[in-house]
Structure 1
């Protein structure tokens, strides 16, 4: 049986002690609080504790602001995303009505850091353990930026989290290490952000403790915790998530919600369970299918056919005599865009009323992807509007890119025909035309020759085999030069002896 934080003093006394601790910490200084809220059980339990404790403090002593922040990666599970969005809206209204110093903030990644801009725009491969490019861009950066702004305004900040030691052995180890470095009772230093501290009021709670608290204590901002329990139940593979009434009742606390596109986990078990446990959620099936399509097979070839043999900077790098695959090719990026738009259309046509306006990919993201394709990658065919119209059956709602286009659609098609099957030759001519066009309107065409040189270096190969052969020659020449240098060094040392 898992140890309960309530086994010593009992449920009521433990909760009362925690609320007393919260009120004391809140009134001990003028440092603002930032509460991390994901909409899940742990962050909900923490926010409830803080909220209920603040209600006990006299109005004139609630001067210190409490910011509730929730990071929307823009690729969250739609069910959870809707839940969190409505919760934040309800929370803000309730806090204002009760005169609490709580404000809710939904954070999103910067446009250049969103998932689709990086994957479909720049061609980053779907995230994997050795190339986990998404977490920092989508989750860490938005919250870090907000906390730093609070620190800048107030000098310090206290970050309140629902972290618990029972979550994993690794989490226990980290929390115990910071526990030893506490500068004040219950406040640990923030290892990544200076002038900020971390408060984890439910760090010793078990999963069962969390559910017991949520079921026994009503949600103070007007949400229904039993609906949260139902959501977890729907995301549990075996469908078992009983009403928790005591610590001996098993909970569904191992359910995990996150980005529906996540390829860092073997399977999206929560979404899969939602679809299996509720026929009304079958509208989410295309999301799961697309997520599985994004996840490359665990083989040596993996998604190599979809990716360029050159790295992002145009270099050809070898690993065990084979090129390290680079970004997704143009046709692969167009394919992923088409699939996302098709799934978005399906959800709007087949989903419940509250997802009829869902945006899996926003117009701002589409415009940034289009800019990257045309300006940065020199794909001056400007195919994004056409892909959009083919996938949705409607006109592209974005603007015009005529000033970036060196040639019209008919001319580009003729150029491709002239280059026949020589794709690299086509890319070279296209890029040279694009570079010249970009520099044409400049008063001083500084950088033109360097840009042209980079284009030639990136596309001068006859084909992929030619590029690999040249990379092998460079590697062999470098190894030979290093060998000769090593021999000279040994010879010099012997002469000195």
Structure 2
């Protein structure tokens, strides 16, 4: 990020920055004291959200104590796969914020939000086998970023009836953002206060919506951080993340990035290359420890036939589906998921051993996620070998802190090895036999075994193919038969009317 050098007359419409700040903080105080509606400030740790929170903080600090009555919730969503440098920065900032608010007697409450366990990146990718996100299958953003913040805001609305969201959105961020803000302006309650299209009973307040990128940086450089977290370090983090020294933090889908680089999830496969992480590693020698993360991210970013080799030819429900005459591949195979887990734990172990002191306890995947992945593998995917503890031990050198599942399994690990050997290398036969045994175990203890035959039939139907080619040929034959039947069906009355001459 280059230091602003433009003529001051071109910034803030030629007005002194102190005048602009005084005017905005006065507006914030008037809005804050106008009612009892609580505020929720979105904080990503980036420059725009930092600037907005500084303005709010300064405004509240200048109010008499008896007027600082309603809460200001500061929410920061951690997807659990954030760029570790940024995640560490935000965590420290929230800690400073909490201490400073208490010391200054301000009703500011920082909250770090995370996705529900079932919605995390690794639970879905390694546990369920979802393929790495793509523009046409962007399963991550809604689960990991939007749901946690919306759930928090809804809780505030339920408790207080309403909420005002204070956001660092700006018209100059992107054309998409400018168009969205222009649409909401038509329904504004007052200047810079718009209805929230997605959350009922909430309004959006955008105090710096007309500021330019350069004006934000001038403000941060000339006005000290209100909770004692260094804006100079923030600037240095931006500088390290781009070759051209300018890189805004990505906050949501419409936020632009510097060139094609971005801050965000280090696992992101929605961009061609994570240029911000590459720049961080290349620009700062002390961040070479992030190299294993970049390598794993690049492994996830596999496409075409190479990706198809990693995915089952059946969908999640076991069916074989076609797009045209091509198979629509399903989740990652057991082998692929075990490889992803092994790579992830090896990266985490290496970083802890070789990284700086601040990342010696870094969790690339949480223990809660590992327990959930294990549960899904064993009880939902019927992978009763229970391989996760063995992988954990082999990659970390430590025993997995989970109880044995042997009492819940039809066969133990040794018996599974014998079954695999009996199947003579036929993975499809092995997985089908394994699932049939698990279905039988599941129904064994039931008083009424209603549904047993349907479950057995479904398992056999999903696994009766010889291989992928056999499944493909079968699906093509079914499609051909359906098309032939459709061609010979009598026309409906509507179709006859449509075909009749005018």
TM-score bucket of the superposed structures, by smaller chain: over 0.9
Which residues in structure 2 correspond to 1:134-149 (within 5 Å)?
134-149=140-155
1:441 deviation in Å?
A: 2.4
Is the CA contact 2:261–2:274 (under 8 Å) kept in the aligned structure 1?
no
Q: 1:432 aligns with which of 421, 436, 441?
A: 436
1:465 deviation in Å?
A: 1.6
What secondary structure sits across from 2:305 in the alignment? coil
Which residues in structure 2 correspond to 1:96-495 (within 5 Å)?
96-239=102-245, 256-297=262-303, 300-485=304-489
Counterpart position of 2:252: none
1:181 deviation in Å?
A: 1.3
Cα-to-partner distance string for 1:172-191 (whole Å, 9 max, x where unaligned): 10011111111233211111
Distance 2:241 2:345 in 1: 25
Is the CA contact 2:25–2:55 (under 8 Å) kept in the aligned structure 1?
yes
Is the CA contact 1:239–1:273 (under 8 Å) kept in the aligned structure 2?
no
Structure 1 residues 75, 172: closer, same or farther in 2, change over 3 A? same
Distance 1:114 1:495 in 2: 55
1:433 deviation in Å?
A: 0.6
Structure 1 residues 225, 430: closer, same or farther in 2, change over 3 A? same
Cα-to-partner distance string for 1:2-27 (whole Å, 9 max, x where unaligned): 99661243311111111011001101
1:66 deviation in Å?
A: 0.3
What secondary structure sits across from 2:474 in the alignment? helix
What secondary structure sits across from 1:462 in the alignment? coil
Query: Could you tell me the TM-score, scaled by structure 1's length?
Result: 0.94
Is the CA contact 1:404–1:438 (under 8 Å) kept in the aligned structure 2?
no
Q: 1:73 aligns with which of 79, 82, 90?
A: 79
What secondary structure sits across from 1:326 in the alignment? coil
Distance 1:490 1:196 in 2: 47
Deviating more after overlay: 142-151 vs 414-423: 414-423
Across the aligned residues of Structure 1 and Structure 2, the Cα RMSD in angstroms comes to: 2.2
Structure 1 residues 254, 218: closer, same or farther in 2, change over 3 A? farther
What secondary structure sits across from 2:76 in the alignment? strand
What secondary structure sits across from 1:105 in the alignment? strand
1:448 deviation in Å?
A: 2.3
1:464 deviation in Å?
A: 1.4
Which residues in structure 2 correspond to 1:24-35 (within 5 Å)?
24-35=30-41
Counterpart position of 1:37: 43
Deviating more after overlay: 484-493 vs 120-129: 484-493
Counterpart position of 1:244: none
1:283 deviation in Å?
A: 0.7
What secondary structure sits across from 1:301 in the alignment? helix
Distance 2:447 2:332 in 1: 35
List runs of 5+ in structure 1 lacking aligned partners.
242-250
Is the CA contact 1:41–1:211 (under 8 Å) kept in the aligned structure 2?
yes
Counterpart position of 1:15: 21
Distance 2:295 2:24 in 1: 44
1:449 deviation in Å?
A: 2.5
1:105 deviation in Å?
A: 0.3
Structure 1 residues 486, 26: closer, same or farther in 2, change over 3 A? farther
Is the CA contact 1:36–1:69 (under 8 Å) kept in the aligned structure 2?
yes
Number of equivalent positions: 486
Structure 1 residues 202, 422: closer, same or farther in 2, change over 3 A? same
1:152 deviation in Å?
A: 0.3
What secondary structure sits across from 1:104 in the alignment? strand
Distance 2:236 2:120 in 1: 30
Is the CA contact 1:157–1:196 (under 8 Å) kept in the aligned structure 2?
yes
Counterpart position of 1:245: none
1:97 deviation in Å?
A: 0.9
1:440 deviation in Å?
A: 2.1
List runs of 5+ in structure 2 lacking aligned partners.
1-5, 248-256
1:398 deviation in Å?
A: 1.9
Distance 1:76 1:140 in 2: 14
What secondary structure sits across from 1:305 in the alignment? helix
1:83 deviation in Å?
A: 0.6
1:365 deviation in Å?
A: 0.5
Distance 1:228 1:254 in 2: 20
Deviating more after overlay: 307-316 vs 3-12: 3-12
Distance 1:495 1:74 in 2: 61
1:29 deviation in Å?
A: 1.1
1:400 deviation in Å?
A: 2.0
Is the CA contact 1:5–1:204 (under 8 Å) kept in the aligned structure 2?
no
